[in-house]
Amino acid sequence: MDFRLVFKLFLVCLLGEVLMAEGLACNWGTRVTHPLPPDIAVKLMKDNGIDKVKLFEVVPDVMGALGNSGIQVMVGIPNDMLASLASSVRVAEDWVTQNVSRYVSRNGVDIRYVAIGNEPFLKTYKDMFTQTIYPALENIQAALIKAGLGRQVKVTIPINADVYQSDSGMPSGGNFRPDIHGLMISIVKFLSDNGGPLTINIYPFLSLYADPHFPVDFAFFDGAAAPVVDGGVTYGNVFEANYDTLVWSLEKNGFPNLPIIVGEVGWPTDGDVNANIENARRFNQGLLNRINQGKGTPKRASPPDIYLFALIDEDAKSTEPGNFERHWGIFYYDGSIKYPLNLANNKNLTAAKGVQYLSRQWCVMRPDADPSDPNLPQSINKACTYADCTSLGYGSSCGGLDVRNNASYAFNMYFQTMNQTKGSCDQFSNLSVITSIDPSTRIRGGACRFEIMIDIGKGGKTRKPTTSSAGRMYNSIFASSFLLGLLAFVS
């Protein structure tokens, strides 16, 4: 079993009184065509007891909404900024002034961490960031100190689980990857010297996605899996084993007490045969239960801060890792509830309030149109080039539609993404028509939702979905000797 296989542990917005932390933590991504208004998103978090949030980049209206909210914030710096930040302390100082000091002093944003880069050591990056990540870390730390924020705001680097491995296939064999071992030790020492935590992203779902022979139950927390025994320690799930592999890696290199944050962890609900409502609820409820119980891992009894991935779906994210990338939210893109979750103190999820939608109308295939029309394939292709059709994929929530409904879904996503503008339903060779009858349907016992988008107003701007990635990539779907060794052991 590949333990690096990202078991991204980003705690589903955890509510209320948690023994490990004083509230829930979640990631809030903004790669969406029709963003949930920031003030509504902040209210959504507060209504669900979420008092910590991780952002991947600084977005002014998002930061404004977080001002004086009581929510602690981790702000991210994208990888493509590392080179400039590494080049000069002055550049780092300017960034801190504009993106940290400004919001702390003028808007009352409670910024606690700056996350420098995101998973910069993924092998798919081919060492693109290995020369710039450490000097960027140093310069941002120096800039925070100069701004008088060195005690309040700590630096961290979110890493993927593929930075460590185990030759034995067991957590106790964990150590940092040989090619970046020296650099990782320098980073860890710097964080330790400056009071910063190391942030790790763990994704059991990706273990299953990458290897069809992965023992499915070992991805979950309900004790259904055959345990893995490492010496005198028993592991019942891949999350614990993955996390403790990092702890062992730190201990072997002289840093047994370095704080660890789980920056991302969750389970998607669409875009793959294993990405569905049932599995997501099973995983996230199990995760919440162990956090509410104050349960850590065999190596560290107290649970870390865990940021659930993610707050809402993002329909404009890259699909390079897989179609599931757009469906990690515990809420749909508009803040509506996907499935019930029992939070702390037996409280349930609360949906977003005050969301304004476009008109109640859909664009569908004309009833008199011929499904064998030669223009239909290119029309569907056009729609899905500019809109999110990931729910139509094999094993997805709308993957079993017939030809007519499949075309209707694609046409409607285009129509909604284009804000239902005049003529946007007339782009498909006279094969489409607007209807006021909701075409949403049920397939294999599940729901296939035909969306109506949020009304972003006359001044709003939409973002075209990205089908090839130039940005953040969560997948570390690489077969490591550690995962393979453990998988063989489990099997």
17 classed as catalytic: no
> Between β-strands 233-235 and 198-201, what pairing exists: parallel, antiparallel or unpaired?
unpaired
Q: Are 6 and 203 in contact (CB under 8 A)?
A: yes
473: left (phi over 0), alpha (psi -120 to 50) or beta: beta
Give the amino acid at 113. Y
193: left (phi over 0), alpha (psi -120 to 50) or beta: alpha
User: Which residue in 316, 284, 277 sits closest to 448, CA to CA?
Assistant: 277
DSSP classification of residue 433: E
User: Which residue carries 């606690």 as its tokens?
Assistant: 112
Number of Cβ within a 10 Å radius of residue 377: 10
CA 111 to CA 124: how far, in whole Å? 31
- Tell me the residue length of the chain: 491
Residue 364 tokens, joined: 């569908």
Q: Are 14 and 25 in contact (CB under 8 A)?
A: yes
22 classed as catalytic: no
Number of Cβ within a 10 Å radius of residue 123: 14
Residue 481, CA distances (Å) to 8, 167, 185, 246 in order: 19, 6, 21, 15
Catalytic residue among 119, 138, 240, 325: 119
Catalytic residue among 264, 314, 325, 451: 264
Q: Are 235 and 246 in contact (CB under 8 A)?
A: no
CA 115 to CA 75: how far, in whole Å? 6
The CA-CA-CA angle for residues 287, 3, 165, to 5°, reads: 135
Indicate which residues carry an active-site annotation: 119, 264
